[in-house]
Amino acid sequence: MASSASDKPRIGITTYLEPTVWGVWERDAALLPRVYLDAVVAAGGVPLLLPPVGTDTAVLDVLDGLIVAGGCDVDPSTYDATPHPETVGTRPGRDEHETILIRAALDRDLPLLAICRGLQMLNVTLGGTLQQHLPDVVAHDEHRPSPAVFGTTEVKIEPGTLTARLFGDRTSVRCYHHQALDVVAPTLQVTARAGDGTVEAAEVAGHDFALGVQWHPEENPDDLRLFTALIAATRSPSSGSTA
């Protein structure tokens, strides 16, 4: 049973499953950058990790909200495309896991925040496609300036949207990606773009809180607006969580 209005909301976060080294061990492990956890806690929630094994939508019964986290490239087979030479390190098992959870969360109207790869998975799950290597389209790599270095992107936001209510007409964000939305799924509304036209945010029509952003809000601990909005949405009477 999901938490009551007097408890801290339980927020599920999808994770990586990667070869990992710790101490004397070298094994596959479920992992997630701590910044996601810290952002949920700082916003007033309790983070619960959802590794891409043993996927069961019944887990949503104990959650008040879902975050689909960033990570590796989405497998092009999920949107019937041929892999680009720069599309590497795909994880089909994670793609399937997140597709199942996204569909179930939307069916339940569970508050949903999709981050970077998460926005891409949201678009693909709903029938959209991806640009596999953004520099081929925008002729620069400012969205991913160098390995393990986040870029800064100015985004312009569509008025009258949830994104605009949170950020106003524009905002500056931290980003790290070389893929982006191409064909936008029919039920997604683009709500923010970078100056080069890259889709930076989108919302699912017909849902109070089903929002994806191409940037990494967890990398800015001084700006928790997306996470606090997610927590607030879990307390809405129209949210899909049960009392």
The residue from 97, 177, 207, 216 that is catalytic is 216
Q: What is the mean pLDDT of residues 203-209?
A: 97
Rounded to the nearest integer, the mean pLDDT of the chain is: 95
**What CATH number is attached to the domain comprising 76?**
3.40.50.880
Residue 85 is classified by DSSP as T
Tell me if 2 is assigned to some domain: no
C-alpha closest to that of 114 among 39, 25, 211: 211
Least-confidence region, from 3-17, 144-158, 212-226:
3-17
Residue type, 165: R
Residue 217: the pLDDT is: 98
The residue from 98, 200, 203, 218 that is catalytic is 218
Residue 3: the pLDDT is: 58
Q: Respond yes or no: is residue 18 known to be catalytic.
A: no
Tell me if 243 is assigned to some domain: no
Tell me if 91 is assigned to some domain: yes
The answer to whether 211 and 163 are in contact (CB under 8 A) is: yes
The residue from 97, 116, 143, 200 that is catalytic is 116
**pLDDT tens across 114-127, in order?**
999 999 999 999 99
Half-sphere exposure of 3 toward its Cβ, with a 13 Å CA cutoff?
A: 20
Domain of residue 70: give its range: 10-234
Q: What total of structural domains would you count in the chain?
A: 1
SS3 19: strand
C-alpha closest to that of 187 among 203, 163, 198: 203
Phi, psi of 76 (to 5 degrees): -60, -20
- Please list the residues that pair with 102 across neighbouring strands: none
- In the structure, what pLDDT confidence band is assigned to residue 239 with cuts at 50, 70 and 90? low
Answer positive or negative: Cα dihedral of 98, 53, 39, 198. negative
Q: Respond yes or no: is residue 116 known to be catalytic.
A: yes
**pLDDT tens across 142-193, in order?**
999 999 999 999 999 999 999 999 999 999 999 999 999 999 999 999 999 9
Tell me if 3 is assigned to some domain: no
Instruction: Write down the pTM of the prediction.
Output: 0.95
Tell me if 4 is assigned to some domain: no
Tell me if 228 is assigned to some domain: yes
The answer to whether 120 and 180 are in contact (CB under 8 A) is: yes
User: How many C-beta atoms lie closer than 10 Å to residue 236's C-beta?
Assistant: 14
Q: Respond yes or no: is residue 200 known to be catalytic.
A: no
Tell me if 78 is assigned to some domain: yes
Tell me if 31 is assigned to some domain: yes
Residue 6: the pLDDT is: 56
